[in-house]
Amino acid sequence: MRILIIEDEPMIALYLQELLEDAGFAIIGVASRLAKAMELIKSAVFDVAILDANLAGISSSPAAAALVARSMPFVVLSGYSMQQQQAFPTPHFLQKPCRPEQLISILSAIGPKP
Amino acid sequence: MPNEEQDLMQAVVAHKRSEANLRLGIAIAGFGLGVLDFRTDQVTLDHIAAALFGLPANTPIPRSEMHARVHPASAAEVKAAMLLALDPAGDGLMAIEHRILRPDGSALWVAARKQIEFGNHGPGGSRLATVGLLAVRDISGRWLAEEKIRISETRYRRLFEAAHDGVLLVDPNTSKIVDANPFMTELLGYPHADLVGKELYEIGLLKDQASSQEMFLQLKVDHQVRYENLPLESQSGVHREVEVVANLYDEGGHAIIQCNIRDITERKLAEAVALQYSRLFSTLIEQAPSGVYVIDAQFRMSQINKLAMPAFAAVEPLIGRDFSEILTIVWGADVGERIEQIFRHTLRTGERYVSPPFTERRHDIDMIQSYEWEAQRVTLVDGSYGVACYFSDITERKLAEDIVAEREAHVRSILDNTQAFIGLLSVDGTLLEANAPSLAAAGVSRESVIGRKLWDTNWWAQDSQEANRLKDAVLRSAAGEVVRYDMIVRLAPTRRMDVDFMLAPVRDASGTITLLVPSGLDITERKRSMHHIQQLMGEVNHRAMNLLGVVQAVARQTARDGDPATFVTRLTERIGGLAASQDLLVQNEWKGVEVADLVAAQLAHYKGLFGSHVVFAGPPARLTPAAAQGIGMALHELATNASKYGALSDSVGRVNISWRITDGAEPNFEMRWLEDGGPSVVPSTRRGFGQKVIGPMVEAAVSGSAEIQYAESGLSWTLIAPVAKTLESERAATPMAFL
């Protein structure tokens, strides 16, 4: 399964990358800024996106909208609680720090079935 | 006939003989004389008689001329008397008093006497009047006096009959009543006939015979006795009060007692009423709820009640004292005279005077006192005018009023100088008062809101929903509830104010709600800062969660490439490094971290070597929170590496840390870590966590590039990043924009 990581914190991006690679996922790209994220959402080939709710102080809701527009499944990962993040139209929400197995099971659930 | 002639002549001679004497006597008696000659029917008057009749004297005139002077009212009487006198069978004498009317129109009363002589010379020798002598005297004076007596007697009788005093005439010798006037008979109810002949005690006027005798004895001595307040019962049993005055006097030679009995029942009654009136007057004055005193017509203090006494305590004596003197004692000359003028004016004109608030310094006690007073003319018991003054000492009340007014001013100034909005409502919601801040907040004038329903005023003109809510609050508060809620006041379309609003009922002593007090505090700022705090709290949570995510990543990495034996130590150190950076950020309120501070914090373990083996220098530069975290972690990994394998692993190696900002349109932040003097460096082939941190991760954090060189002399690390991505700009960074 091909994963697009949209995350501005390098340490967390690295962590996610290694965690998911170890778990057998393919990371096709990491975006740490909204512009890069929008570009990758349009152009990259992936199955599921992991979206940080806030990118360098800017809400990433345009990225969420773009994902919805492309009918791409995504999970929101955020330091904010669910209540603080009502702008995101997704039932799949994980608050940092998340348990790795929880993230993996959500990705498996919403990603394409083999 | 000759005989008769002779007789006549003799008579005439006889007359003439004594004529001189006769005339003299007659003249002295005031008589006028006349000689009548019936044969010639003429009369000759002397000058006195002629003057009486207004006819010529001493010359014969026709008798008819004299008869013509007789007053018509007396003519018939005179004629009859003459006829009688001329009767030859009679004695020829005539005496009559009659009136005459003189040519000048005046009338006289005269007494006339005639003596007529007769002769036998009538037909057949019958007797006929021949001559006569007339004596006449003016009696007008006497007659007038008698007339007066007659009139006087009539009048006296009428008085006696008609008098409203009872009059009894008593004979002092017999002690019996001889006459009584009609009033007396009416008073006693006895007919006149029953009264006459009775003694005084028999008709109940005196107690008994002994008293009667006593009265007579006293009358003999004093000629007058007076009894006041004698009770008298009439025959029909009606009780009367009488006053008796008895006088003993002489009436035409014999003594008589006149008793005047006056019915004084009415007077007594009137006196009793007057006395009662006088007592009532005094009682009214004494019981009056204010100070009352009365000045009499002579301007003296005549009466004063208890309440008025304290005001005149310094005046002794008081009653009967001249009022202007009293005023001078109490008020001094100037004020005293002013008051005196008012009293005199009222006494003279009857104009009532009501004083305006009267506050003056009293002369006798040397204190400022306040009175309310009025002066009114009154008719005193004796019928004369006086002035009654009613007054109240309002000094205490005025003082209390002044204090209340002062307190009100205080309260008003407190209300106006407070921050809160405070007002006063009647229970139906009408605004009675509003303090200055509440008026100023809406920019409305007092007049434009006072008297209107609170919900109809400008404060809520923009917002019918709030106005309705307020109306409901007034209803609830008027029913006894304290209503409190946060209210939005739209002062203008673009300006809103959050108000912590409260409406509380005020009850009087009986528990009835009489007023409502609306109050409010402008909590716009408080609300804003509360909102801000909530945002910050969320943000702090967000950052903490992010940091925990980082810690989670660090832990995983540490576990991945490290020796399980040193895992805890390494993880603890790395978390310590993260914490140090975090600490600086918090200290600086997320507004960035000075590079020098970050270096000192991350190398705090080697503090002892600062300045000798650890040297760092650079211009002031403030890293953004994201850069501070990334660079901080890199510095931590570099220091750990140096202490294990590099310059800080022995006592001679040194670390030099420097940074600078390059010139140019897009300046860079350059930072360099340079080790030398330590053990020879062996380039690492491992791509462990430390390598990732000082390489791709810090590059990602600052959008820059990091270069690592392993020279013989030691490791060097260079980071080059755009200032825009690394350092805080001059303006304060938004605290929530780093992850």
What does the pLDDT look like over A13-48, one tens digit per residue?
Answer: 988 998 999 899 999 999 988 999 999 999 999 999
What is the average pLDDT across B29-41?
83
Residues 6+ apart with CB under 8 A from B566: none
Size of interface A-B (CB pairs under 8 A): 81
Q: Residue A54's closest chain B neighbor by CA?
A: B739
State yes or no: ipTM above 0.90.
Answer: no
> How many Å lie between the alpha carbon of B469 and the closest alpha carbon of chain A?
31
Out of A51-55, B428-432, B574-578, least confident range: A51-55
Query: Higher pLDDT residue, B401 or A90?
Result: B401
pLDDT of B73 > 90? The answer is no
Query: Higher pLDDT residue, B400 or B23?
Result: B400
Alpha-carbon gap, residue B302 to B284, rounded angstroms:
15
Tokens 């360099």 map to which residue?
Answer: B672
pLDDT confidence tier of residue B26, bands split at 50, 70 and 90: low
pLDDT of B512 > 50? The answer is yes
B626-654: pLDDT as tens digits = 899 999 999 999 999 999 889 999 888 99
Query: In this predicted structure, what is the pLDDT of residue B20?
Result: 55
pLDDT of B25 > 80? The answer is no
Would you call B545 and A97 a contact, using CB atoms and an 8 Å cutoff? yes
Query: In this predicted structure, what is the pLDDT of residue B734?
Result: 44
Tokens 């007494």 map to which residue?
Answer: B111
pTM to 2 decimal places: 0.47
> How many Å lie between the alpha carbon of A42 and the closest alpha carbon of chain B?
22
Closest CA to B432 of B441, B422, B440, B442: B422
pLDDT of A81 > 80? The answer is no
Alpha-carbon gap, residue B274 to B261, rounded angstroms:
23
B573-627: pLDDT as tens digits = 999 999 999 889 888 877 889 999 999 999 998 999 999 999 999 999 999 988 9
Partners of residue B556 in chain A, C-beta under 8 Å: 15, 18-19
What is the average pLDDT across B171-195?
83
pLDDT confidence tier of residue B735, bands split at 50, 70 and 90: very low
Partners of residue B624 in chain A, C-beta under 8 Å: none
pLDDT of B215 > 60? The answer is yes
Alpha-carbon gap, residue B500 to B420, rounded angstroms:
10
Alpha-carbon gap, residue B389 to B330, rounded angstroms:
15
Query: Higher pLDDT residue, B97 or B188?
Result: B97
Would you call B700 and A10 a contact, using CB atoms and an 8 Å cutoff? yes
Query: In this predicted structure, what is the pLDDT of residue B137?
Result: 84
Query: In this predicted structure, what is the pLDDT of residue B733?
Result: 41
Q: Most A CBs within 10 Å: which of B542, B543, B556, B734, as the mutation test of the A interface?
A: B542
Out of B23-32, B343-352, B420-429, least confident range: B23-32
Query: In this predicted structure, what is the pLDDT of residue B381?
Result: 75
Partners of residue B541 in chain A, C-beta under 8 Å: 79-81, 84
Query: In this predicted structure, what is the pLDDT of residue B556?
Result: 87
Q: Is B633 on the interface with A (CB under 8 A)?
A: yes
Phi, psi torsion values for B174, nearest 5 degrees: -100, -10
What is the average pLDDT across B457-465?
79
Q: In the Cβ-directed half-sphere of B355, how many Cα atoms lie within 13 Å?
A: 20
Radius of gyration (Cα) for chain A, nearest Å?
Answer: 12
Q: Is B257 on the interface with A (CB under 8 A)?
A: no
Here the tokens at position B586 are 């918090």
Which DSSP helix (H) or strand (E) runs through B540?
Answer: helix B524-561
Query: In this predicted structure, what is the pLDDT of residue A84?
Result: 60
Mean pLDDT, chain B, rounded, equals: 85
Partners of residue A101 in chain B, C-beta under 8 Å: none
Helix (H, G, I), strand (E, B) or coil at B150: helix
pLDDT confidence tier of residue B731, bands split at 50, 70 and 90: very low
Q: Most B CBs within 10 Å: which of A9, A16, A95, as the mutation test of the B interface?
A: A9
Q: Is B548 on the interface with A (CB under 8 A)?
A: yes
What is the average pLDDT across B545-566?
84
pLDDT confidence tier of residue B737, bands split at 50, 70 and 90: very low
Instruction: Fill in the amino acid letter for B522.
Output: D
Helix (H, G, I), strand (E, B) or coil at B127: coil
* Torsion from C-alpha of B125, B131, B133, B136, nearest 10 degrees: 110
User: Is B460 in contact with B466 (CB distance < 8 Å)?
Assistant: yes
Would you call B549 and A12 a contact, using CB atoms and an 8 Å cutoff? yes
B378-415: pLDDT as tens digits = 888 778 899 999 998 888 888 888 888 888 888 888 88
For residue B226, list its beta bridge partners: B245
Would you call B700 and A79 a contact, using CB atoms and an 8 Å cutoff? no
Partners of residue A56 in chain B, C-beta under 8 Å: 626, 737-739
Would you call A81 and B552 a contact, using CB atoms and an 8 Å cutoff? no
Q: Listing from the earlier edge strand, what are the strands of the sheet with B513-522?
A: B431-434, B421-426, B513-522, B495-507, B483-492
User: Is B374 in contact with B390 (CB distance < 8 Å)?
Assistant: yes
Would you call B556 and A79 a contact, using CB atoms and an 8 Å cutoff? no
> In chain B, positions 554-593, which contact chain A (CB-CB < 8 Å)?
554, 556-557, 560
Out of A99-113, B5-19, B598-612, least confident range: B5-19
pLDDT of B102 > 60? The answer is yes
